Amino acid sequence: MQQDQSSNGEPENKCPSCVFIKLESSRIKEGWLWDRQTKAIELFLTVSFNEQEEKILGGAIRFGIKRGTLSLALTNCRSPYENRGLNDILQHNLLLERYKRSSNEEKRSSGFSISPNKISAKIDSELEKALERTDKIKFDTHQVSTKGSEANPIWDFQVKTGEPCLKGTIPKEVLAILTVDDVPCKIEATFTASLRELHIEGIEGLWPGEISRNKMAVMERWIVRHFLEPKLEPYLSRQELKYD
């Protein structure tokens, strides 16, 4: 009897600081989920987002993405909604700070000093410094949602934290438990982001310090079209896995 084998191809990450993905699979024993005839694959995802700097034309451009999509094209396997993960991962703890400041005020207190010769009363006046109290409230915001069919599941990543672009790491979390209908089965993963979802953090060393805003905007669009758009097309990251 031939033994089932899995093959995890190496991921292709064209801008690994901006977006890095890695998929890994593990076979689940028959009968672990529904019945003895069912085979399943547990699919794990490691993903990281941040800004990336590219050296171009003697200068540099820093960029990130505000939104991106991880899509799976499945052959001989499927991804039921109830067995998808990552819907509440990549949470970003936002810290809401409320400041309450008290005004400067004089605080008067009375004190008595006793000496061998006399009892004197004195009134001490001290100035209380401004007090600042910070109330910190943490709350979570979810940046991942899933959609798509069982044969073509999709996970959307979108910044919702007030940051200019996606930042954060998911270290090997369960992306989905796939039901295997036949072998060989194939998993093709692509991560894409459109040009309008690109965030330009800064451009340095590519033009003189004194330049009009209109010319700067034209130059920025030219740089994005010629140097960054090719990195986005047809995908930012890609990986293929097989299960025989």
pLDDT at position 216 is 79
pLDDT single digits (tens) 38-76: 689 999 999 999 999 999 888 899 999 999 999 999 999
The residues spanned by each domain of the chain are 16-91+142-243
Half-sphere exposure of 125 (CA within 13 A, CB side): 2
pLDDT at position 8 is 67
Beta carbons of 172 and 45 less than 8 angstroms apart: yes
- Distance separating alpha carbons of residues 240 and 176, to the nearest angstrom: 15
SS3 state of residue 175: strand
pLDDT at position 170 is 87
Q: In the structure, what pLDDT confidence band is assigned to residue 160 with cuts at 50, 70 and 90?
A: confident
Q: In the structure, what pLDDT confidence band is assigned to residue 28 with cuts at 50, 70 and 90?
A: confident
SS3 state of residue 242: strand
pLDDT exceeds 80 at position 92: no
DSSP state of 235: -
Residue where the block lists tokens 């094209």: 73
Beta carbons of 122 and 115 less than 8 angstroms apart: no
More confident residue, 207 or 102: 207
- Per CATH, domain 16-91+142-243 is 2.60.40: yes
pLDDT single digits (tens) 176-209: 999 999 989 999 999 999 999 999 998 888 777 6
pTM for the model: 0.73
DSSP state of 149: -
Quick count: other Cβ atoms within 10 Å of Cβ 123?
Answer: 8
> Which residues, 6 or more positions from 8, have their beta carbon under 8 angstroms from its beta carbon?
23, 24, 25, 241
Buried b (16+ CB within 10 A) or exposed e, 62-74: bbbbbbbbbbbeb
